[in-house]
Structure 1
Amino acid sequence: MGELTFVDVCSGAGGLALGLEQAGFAPRLLLDEDAQTVTTLKSNRPEWNVLHTDLLDFDPQDHTESHDVDLLAAGLPRVKSSATAGRVDSGVEERLLEATVYLAHAIRPRAVLIENVPELFRSDDHLAFRDFAHKELDHLGYELVWLVVDAVDFGVPQRRKHGIMVALERASAGRFRAPEPTVAEPTTVGAALGPSMGVRGWPDAARWAAQADQPAPTLVGGSKNRGGADLGPTRAKQKWATMGVNAHTVADRVPGPDFVWNPDLGRDHMVKLTVEQAALIQGFPPEWRIEGLKTARYRQVGHATPPPVAAALGRAIAEALNGDPAVPAAG
């Protein structure tokens, strides 16, 4: 069998697409409605076919390269709980979920991958979508698998749970196995960021890294409608503070040789992460460039699917599509 191919919708900064590429898939088409993320994608992979459009406006009949692919992938904007359902933009995320399922109707990939929050696949708030997806995709001949994975199990220095839906044609569905963890021990923030903290000659980089001896809490990208970049809600900020990190803002650059790190003296004496370091916490390789101004760049990072998670899922899907039929379990 030749190279596996995919279409990626709501591509963002490219975390899902990059991971799938690492798993051996070749992109036929990526699309996103945000001009800045499209710039990021084209900057890193000029050869990728990237379309600047909203998924809700996308017509696959105008883009035949999206047809006859092995995988339709979607790292969609995070759905909200019922507690926030009354906001102005309520329902946008749900419409994008439905649009992804309808796109599967149109292009008929051999597999569909949707990544979102765990609550989408286990909360009663989203039972209507699960019923819709099952009905529509079962009718097309797919079998669905719902699972939750944690990015920390795949070498990402961050505890970040993902709700995953995988739909496979019935001929392949029995061969799918959820990806197993790829690391025996979590990667810590200090291990991931220690070298970068010292590039400007900060003498306390190693001492700070030793204290940052745990994975990060989940990075949160935030909304375009709210203020500047920070690393997450109150509880996450408190967790960052135990590692000597000021999570209330994002830095323009790492500490220099004169920076005094003393968390007991308050935020001003804690380190701040840069956008590039946040990208490392998300599992992006150092060479992956995030384009735009600082806040927009951070939001791209915070909203991304960690590439190592996408790679693990991609390998599991590839094995199901390419592998021999599963042997029934004994007994």
Structure 2
Amino acid sequence: MRCTAKRPTVLSLFTGAGGLDLGLETAGFETRLCVEIDDEARATIRRNRPEWKLATPGDIHQHAPGDLLALSGLDEGELDLLAGGPPCQPFSKSGYWLAGDSKRLGDPRAATLDAYLRVVEAALPRAMLLENVRGLTFDGKDEGFRLLEQGLERINRRKKTNYQVTVLHLNAACYGVPQLRDRVFIIASRAGTIFEMPAATHGDSEGFEPYRTAWDAIGDLDVANWPDELAPTGKWAKLLPSIPEGQNYLWHTPGGGGEPLFGWRTRFWSFLLKLAKDRPSWTIQAEPGPATGPFHWRSRLLSVRELCRLQTFPDDYVIEGDRRSAQRQLGNAVPCALAELLGLEIQRQILGSADVRMELQLLPARRASCPPPQRRGRVPKEYLALRGKHRPHPGTGLGPGALRREREHDLVG
């Protein structure tokens, strides 16, 4: 049951399926307004949290920042927390892999950073929380982060505030989430309070709780038969059973343990990547190709309910849309339990709340009797023709794609 007492308020930008907001809600926040452009994500919010007001239209660029504050029922300076994750594709590492780099601030989606800052200036929240991929702060490619810093400096000068940025690089698994998921969280306090990074609680080292595992999260959903929609498709589908739990295509490279079918590091990391029962899940992808994992240890796609579990969404939460839409919504979400942690810490460190609990309510319980790994299958004959000597990837900037782009650049120049 959700608390009905007066709670700290949050205005949510780029809400998506609501992962960040569900965690903040569990931490005690009241969501006053959600701004989300995707129709199916909006349907998910209406289905599960009809009390969360949705801005209409959902495009943040069609609203004056002051209007969003008014829709939330608050005046300047009354909002406790502005939270949101602007689209991460302009700063995603996958953009570098596919294209050698990404457009970053040249990508139209990066304009959402400016939109976020305009709402900060209109609302002047006591705290702000911004989530993104680690690429936002990559050395030498941190234009987006510098834009945020400079924007907050201008707001401080104009509004006599003291927003000071803390950058947190967090892996969700280190806090009990059953998924290895690295993300950047940028937190700032209007009063200049420096936010301290929460201490990791889970890991392999002495003094830490063991990681929560994929088996902890989805072991009770493990069945030998599954719907046809979860069967893998594409050129490499039949090769998947020959890869051990927790491994990827590198198993089938020289020295990998399988057949020499590929060159070392000639494919992206998530190619034919599988879960291991006794480890946290690999990062859930938003728009995977047919050979992109993580796949279930039974060599199938993960179900929507399994994806929800690995992202620590509550079991009664329903994702609207078809499976592809659900994958996108969940792959773009913040793990709810990680958001719960940050919500509790923001209350304790910035909002000055007393008696803030330390334990997280959204983590999966530990599950006993983890079975041994699935038995590995043979490589089908159709792939054996690939056996041979394969050159490894030559290194960053030296692959065929990078060299092709360099030639094209020289021709244009």
Tell me the distance in 2 between the aligned counterparts of 1:100 and 1:48: 20
Secondary structure of residue in 2 paired with 1:157: coil
Secondary structure of residue in 2 paired with 1:46: coil
Secondary structure of residue in 2 paired with 1:295: helix
Secondary structure of residue in 2 paired with 1:50: coil
Q: Which residue of the partner structure matches residue 178 of structure 2?
A: 157
Higher relative contact order (CA 8 A, sep 6+): 1
Task: State the Cα distance separating 1:76 from its structure 2 match.
Answer: 1.9
User: Runs of 5+ in structure 1 lacking a partner?
Assistant: 203-207, 223-228, 246-269, 325-331
Task: State the Cα distance separating 1:200 from its structure 2 match.
Answer: 7.8
For residues 283-294 of structure 1, the aligned pairs below 5 Å read: 283-294=312-323
For the pair 1:192 / 2:192, whether they are aligned, the reply is: no
For residues 232-271 of structure 1, the aligned pairs below 5 Å read: 233=292, 236-237=293-294, 240=295, 244-245=297-298, 270-271=299-300
CA RMSD of aligned residues (A): 2.9
Secondary structure of residue in 2 paired with 1:120: helix
Task: State the Cα distance separating 1:244 from its structure 2 match.
Answer: 2.6
User: Runs of 5+ in structure 2 lacking a partner?
Assistant: 203-208, 228-244, 246-274, 354-413
Q: Which residue of the partner structure matches residue 212 of structure 1?
A: 277
Contact 2:126–2:191 (Cα < 8 Å) also in 1 = no
Secondary structure of residue in 2 paired with 1:322: coil
Normalization by structure 1: what TM-score? 0.76
Aligned counterpart in structure 1 of residue 187 of structure 2, from 143, 159, 166: 166
Tell me the distance in 2 between the aligned counterparts of 1:54 and 1:2: 29
Q: 1:146 to 1:56 in 2, by over 3 A?
A: same
Cα deviation digits, residues 3-22 of structure 1 (max 9, x gap):
21010111000000101111
Q: 1:211 to 1:166 in 2, by over 3 A?
A: closer
Cα deviation digits, residues 286-324 of structure 1 (max 9, x gap):
111100111111111111111111111111111123338
Tell me the distance in 2 between the aligned counterparts of 1:163 and 1:132: 15
For residues 72-83 of structure 1, the aligned pairs below 5 Å read: 72-78=82-88, 79-80=90-91, 83=100
Task: State the Cα distance separating 1:2 from its structure 2 match.
Answer: 4.8
Task: State the Cα distance separating 1:179 from its structure 2 match.
Answer: 2.0
Cα deviation digits, residues 35-78 of structure 1 (max 9, x gap):
11011011111111122411222223334144421111012211
Structure number with higher helix proportion: 1
Contact 2:174–2:200 (Cα < 8 Å) also in 1 = yes
Task: State the Cα distance separating 1:232 from its structure 2 match.
Answer: 7.5
Q: Which residue of the partner structure matches residue 342 of structure 2?
A: 313
Tell me the distance in 2 between the aligned counterparts of 1:314 and 1:298: 25
Task: State the Cα distance separating 1:132 from its structure 2 match.
Answer: 2.5
Structure number with higher strand proportion: 1
Task: State the Cα distance separating 1:123 from its structure 2 match.
Answer: 2.9
Normalization by structure 2: what TM-score? 0.62
Deviates more, 1:53-62 or 1:303-312: 53-62
Contact 2:9–2:30 (Cα < 8 Å) also in 1 = yes
Q: Which residue of the partner structure matches residue 20 of structure 2?
A: 16
The one-letter code of the counterpart of 1:189 is: A
For the pair 1:45 / 2:44, whether they are aligned, the reply is: no
Cα deviation digits, residues 74-105 of structure 1 (max 9, x gap):
12211335634359x95233211121012101
Q: Which residue of the partner structure matches residue 85 of structure 1?
A: 102
Q: Which residue of the partner structure matches residue 121 of structure 1?
A: 137
Count residues with an aligned counterpart.
280
Secondary structure of residue in 1 paired with 2:141: helix
For the pair 1:296 / 2:325, whether they are aligned, the reply is: yes
Task: State the Cα distance separating 1:117 from its structure 2 match.
Answer: 0.6
Over the matched positions of the two proteins, sequence identity in percent amounts to 29
For residues 219-230 of structure 1, the aligned pairs below 5 Å read: 219-222=284-287
For the pair 1:133 / 2:143, whether they are aligned, the reply is: no
Q: Which residue of the partner structure matches residue 280 of structure 1?
A: 309
Q: Which residue of the partner structure matches residue 404 of structure 2?
A: none
Question: Which structure's CA Rg is the greater one?
Answer: 2
Contact 2:55–2:71 (Cα < 8 Å) also in 1 = no
